[in-house]
Structures are given as C-alpha cells and as structure tokens.
Amino acid sequence: MHKILDVIVIGGGQSGLACGYYLRRHKLNFLILDKEEKCGGAWLHAWNSLTLFSPAEHSSLPGWLMPKSENLFPLKQEVIDYLCQYEKRYELPIERSITVENITSENKVFKVYTNKGIYFSKAVIAAAGTWNNPYIPKIKGRETFKGIQIHSANYKNSEEFRNLKVLVVGEGNSGAQIVAEVSKVTTVKWSTRKPPQYLPDEVDGFYLFNVATAKYNAEKEGKPFNAANYDLGNIVMVPPVKEARSRGVLISSGSFESMYENGVIWSDGTKEDFDAIIWCTGFGYDIFFEKHCFSRRTRHCKNRRKQSN
Ligand SMILES: Cc1cc2nc3c(=O)[nH]c(=O)nc-3n(C[C@H](O)[C@H](O)[C@H](O)COP(=O)(O)OP(=O)(O)OC[C@H]3O[C@@H](n4cnc5c(N)ncnc54)[C@H](O)[C@@H]3O)c2cc1C
C-alpha cells in the first residue's frame, strides 16, 4: 500500500515555505517537492545585484521576521540565507532535486509523478513560481539575429556586456534595473512599448504590499478599491534606479517592429546594430502547470496573465 499524504506542495521557494508553515501549524501530513538541489527558490537564479524592494522588517514570511540587514534593502544572498534558515527553523519536510512531471487524480487522490517516483496526496498546492518559464515575445526576424540574446532570468551581471552595444527590452523593474547596471560599463539603449512609468521615490515594497493587501481584502468583501492612483506594476525607485536616473540613462528609445541579423528595425523603419539584446519581458506560469491546470480546485489556472517584473 502506498502512503497518502494530506498535501503535496510543488515548489520550495518563498510561497512553498509559507504554505509549509501553515500546513505544519494545522498538523497536516505534508511534503514539499522542489527541483532545485539547494534552498532559495528563484532567488538562486536572480542576478547578483538584485535586492528586495522593501526593508527586511517588511519582507518576512509568516512566523519569523527576516533578520535586519546592514543594507536598507536586503541583498539576494541575504534573502537566500533567510529562506534556508526558515525551512530549518520550522523543520519543513522538503525533498530536493525532485521534479514533478505530471499529476493525475482518481477517487479524490492525486498521483504526483516525479523524476524519482510517484507520490500520493489528498491535495496539491502549486507553488512552482514562474522563473522556469521566461517569456520572449514573438518578433519577426528574431531567429536571424547573430548577436547575444539572453532573458533577464539568465542575466547575472554586466561584465559579459562590457564594451558591447546593448539593447535592453522591457519597461518593468527588471528592464530598469538592468539598464541601470549595464549602462555603467557600456552603451545601452532601452526599448519599451510605452513610456516607462515610475512610482514616486518614497514608495517602496512596504507600501506596495500594504496596498496589495488592502486591494485583496476589498475584493474579497466585494468592495470597490481605489489604489490612490499608484499602479502597482510601475517601476520601484530602488537606489540603483534612482542613481541611473541621475546619470540620465533611463531614456526609452521606443519599440521596434522586427529584427535582422545585426540588430533591430525601429518603428520608424530605421535599422540599428546591436551586439547583444537582454529581454526583460517577464515570465509565464510554469509550463507544466500551464499545460495541465490539473484540478478544478487549483487557483493557478484562474489568472494566467504574464508576470512582468
Ligand atoms: C526585479 C525583481 C525584484 C523583485 N523583488 C521582490 C521583492 O522585493 N519581494 C519579493 O517577495 N519578491 C520579489 N521578486 C520576486 C521573487 O523573486 C519571486 O516572485 C519569488 O521568488 C516567487 O516565489 P515563489 O515561491 O512563488 O516561486 P519560486 O521562488 O520560483 O519557487 C518555486 C520553486 O519551485 C520549483 N519548481 C518549479 N517547477 C517545479 C516542478 N515541476 N517540480 C518541482 N519543483 C518545481 C522551482 O525550482 C523553485 O525552487 C522580485 C523579482 C524581480 C525580477
């Protein structure tokens, strides 16, 4: 007879750990399956200079405050350390290097197929994030471009772009932060479909989380919500972005229609050569869940908009 768990959580990033905390409090029999070898979720793959949007005291998972950082906004490695300590502190049952490949359900039991065997549970939580599914728009001629092309999911630092002519594509936070960093070592142009929109300087992640929580609560109660004119998707003015603004490098060149072997063709028909293109064009949900949407009870399927960080 196989063992049937109460819950299997797919993904051991920050969402999976937060779920684990509550599952433990409710004394449920559960397991978190994560395909990474190490703790840290998507933060393991983020670029080296990425920081949180909000100070440590406003970035905590349930139960345990994130330790204070010497930096106003905690660094990537501090976030990873916190996540690693969090799972130890709550002795969360996590099995690593396990990739969930398929899920079926029969007689109210889920059969979770992985690269290391099959697990059974009464419920499944999809906390697999988006990092595994970087999105690049379909652009005519993209396949003919002979230069370097990477997605922000694979960007680590500006060094490999030193002295190259670089185009950064995308008007979100990733685009702004990568323009800020790469423009320190070389010539960068920034392509955006619409003019980049910035949050006021004083608005950080703490404010955004409060607004998002108030919005969620209002929607739950069916009440109207006015987010005080702040679009939560606008660029957060973290210190490197402010510094780039003061250097005058946050200037959009607009959008391009197509590409050719050496570069892009701008909307007005002008051709421009580039050595490298960095796509900061967001993520789709994990391909696996996109394909399966395996249960009526899965919220994952309800909102499959692209994420644009
Ligand atoms: C510029 C920028 C700034 C950001 N700032 C902040 C911020 O200030 N605060 C903040 O909270 N977030 C911030 N983020 C976002 C943050 O990095 C992610 O939103 C967060 O990591 C998502 O957590 P998650 O647990 O949902 O997913 P993830 O961290 O992606 O974790 C999912 C886990 O599931 C695993 N997995 C995926 N598929 C499978 C499978 N089939 N089987 C088994 N395991 C699987 C993955 O390997 C991963 O370990 C920022 C991101 C960017 C780009």
Domain ranges, ordered by start, for the chain: 4-132+284-307, 142-198+235-279
From the CA of 46, how far away is ligand 1's center (Å)? 9
What does the block give as tokens for 251?
């200037």
17, 83 Cβ separation under 8 angstroms: yes
Nearest CA, atom 27, ligand 1:
129
CA pair distance 116, 103, nearest whole angstrom: 14
CATH superfamily for domain 4-132+284-307: FAD/NAD(P)-binding domain (3.50.50.60)
**Residue 35 beta carbon below 6 angstroms from any ligand 1 atom:** yes
From the CA of 113, how far away is ligand 1's center (Å)? 22
Handedness of CA 157, 158, 161, 166 (dihedral sign): positive
Quick one: pLDDT at residue 85?
98
Nearest CA, atom 5, ligand 1:
52
From the CA of 130, how far away is ligand 1's center (Å)? 6
Q: Kindly give the pairing relationship between strand 4-10 and strand 30-34.
A: parallel
Quick one: pLDDT at residue 306?
46
Cα 215 to its chain centre, rounded Å, is: 21
Q: How far is CA 106 from CA 2, 111, 120, 152, 194, in A?
A: 14, 8, 10, 39, 48
From the CA of 125, how far away is ligand 1's center (Å)? 15
What is the pTM for the complete model shown? 0.88
**Residue 20 beta carbon below 6 angstroms from any ligand 1 atom:** no
Q: Kindly give the pairing relationship between strand 109-114 and strand 100-106.
A: antiparallel
Which ligand 1 atom lies nearest to the CA of residue 99? 42
From the CA of 174, how far away is ligand 1's center (Å)? 14
Nearest CA, atom 48, ligand 1:
41
From the CA of 226, how far away is ligand 1's center (Å)? 28
From the CA of 71, how far away is ligand 1's center (Å)? 21
Mean pLDDT by 10 residues, the chain (309 residues): 93 97 98 97 96 88 94 93 98 97 92 96 94 94 98 97 98 97 97 93 80 84 75 86 96 96 97 98 73 48 47
Pocket test for ligand 1, best of 15, 94, 135, 168 (most atoms within 8 A of CB): 15
Which ligand 1 atom lies nearest to the CA of residue 52? 8
Quick one: pLDDT at residue 203?
82
Pocket test for ligand 1, best of 10, 110, 152, 204 (most atoms within 8 A of CB): 10
Topology of domain 142-198+235-279 in CATH is FAD/NAD(P)-binding domain (3.50.50)
Quick one: pLDDT at residue 298?
44
Strands lying side by side in the sheet with 263-266: 256-260, 263-266, 271-273
Quick one: pLDDT at residue 211?
81
CA pair distance 309, 179, nearest whole angstrom: 14
Pocket test for ligand 1, best of 37, 52, 209, 288 (most atoms within 8 A of CB): 52
* Among 138, 136, 137, 146, residue whose Cα is nearest residue 260: 146
Q: How far is CA 181 from CA 68, 75, 155, 158, 247, in A?
A: 25, 15, 11, 6, 12
Nearest CA, atom 33, ligand 1:
11
